[in-house]
Amino acid sequence: MKQPTILAIESSCDETAAAVYNEHEGMLSNVLFSQIEQHKPFGGVIPEIASRTHLQKIRPIITEALEAAHKKLDDIDIIAVTHKPGLPGSLLIGLSFAKAIAYARNLKLIGVNHLEGHAFSAMIEHKIPFPYICLTASGGHTSMYLIKDFGDYEVIGQTVDDAAGEAFDKIAKLINLGYPGGPIIEKLAREADFKDYFHYPRGKQGNINFSFSGLKTAVLYDLVKQDAFDMKTKTFLKDHDLILKQQVSSSLLVCIGDIFKQKLSEAIKLHKDVKAVSFVGGVACNRYLKTELATFCNERGLQFFFPSPQYCTDNAAMIAFVGNYKAKQGKFSDLTLDIFG
């Protein structure tokens, strides 16, 4: 049977992305334009700038994805597109473009939930036994899923306030490290040997929900106590103290690693039949966290999976992958498909 070729579009936040996938041939292309440089001066994503940049980049990125896959629009059978959740203006650009192609070419359209994309992203490269637990940690989301089958999953825990990536980004901003904070914090933490200097609080135990805003406050108060932060002017007073920056980064990373392990322990207690754990989303680029979680799973006889970095951060490949199994399940959308920010 001929497998359909899917063109996927992702524009939910600050990455303009497109991918081409065919189950028989594999992931044929996965290209993106990262808007990090545009948002860097503001220390976070500015929605208006994001949608304007998507508008400029979406057409060249789709062309690049088709060229890299050695395909033409004539070879495409299905358009898969992220339609929720995300920044409304950004989602609208991708969805409008997808609908226009689908309408003009009379192609099938499939709306994909960005979070479902992340949740199944480790399956692009790995065959993972069901049921398994997926920990998604990105700049916008931190959730734990019980994954029972393709497209069959349930949220078993999520953050009640900030996402894990947001905690890295906000704390990095507090000590003038730049944006995005995660990769810089990992580098500094390595220089401090991943030791726990300041023992930040691990939060409430005994449930699977995450809370990271208290962690940011705890780091802030600890800096104030060390005369390193002025609350009145909201300035970090020890910008030249590299050792302090390394120690904060290291303590923070170890703390977040402990929180992840704690929450996974709770999840495994409740769902004893799981065979594996996957760790996905932008934060899953972190090598320290991957090593810690791999050891944790190994000690409990669970298989551990994570996507390669190109499938961890926002990408269209994961949207194409979900689009493919939704097509097999006959879950198509029509041109009334709308965004849900």
- Is residue 253 packed enough to be buried (19+ CB in 10 Å), middle (13-18) or exposed (0-12)? buried
C-alpha distances in angstroms, 187 versus 48, 198, 341?
31, 18, 33
CB of 34 to ligand KG4, least distance (A): 9
Q: Give yes or no for a contact between 134 and 148, defined as CB atoms under 8 angstroms apart.
A: no
Choose, by CB under 6 A, the member of 22, 82, 142, 286 that binds ligand KG4: 286
Choose, by CB under 5 A, the member of 16, 35, 136, 138 that binds Zn ion: 138
DSSP of 13-37, one letter per residue?
Answer: SSEEEEEEEETTTEEEEEEEEE-HH
CB of 184 to ligand KG4, least distance (A): 8
Taking CB under 6 A as the rule, does residue 281 contact ligand KG4?
Answer: yes
Q: Which positions ≥6 away from 188 have C-beta within 8 Å? A: 177, 245, 246, 249, 250
Binding to Zn ion in span 300-329, by CB under 5 A: 314
For ligand KG4, the closer CB: 71 or 114: 114
Taking CB under 5 A as the rule, does residue 121 contact Zn ion?
Answer: no
Binding to ligand KG4 in span 162-181, by CB under 6 A: 165, 168-169, 180-181
How far is Cα 163 from Cα 13, in angstroms, rounded to an integer?
15
CB of 258 to ligand KG4, least distance (A): 15
Taking CB under 6 A as the rule, does residue 13 contact ligand KG4?
Answer: yes
How far is Cα 100 from Cα 294, in angstroms, rounded to an integer?
44
Choose, by CB under 6 A, the member of 44, 131, 183, 214 that binds ligand KG4: 183
| Binding footprint of ligand KG4 on the chain (CB under 6 A) | 13, 138-140, 165, 168-169, 180-183, 186, 281-283, 285-286, 313-314
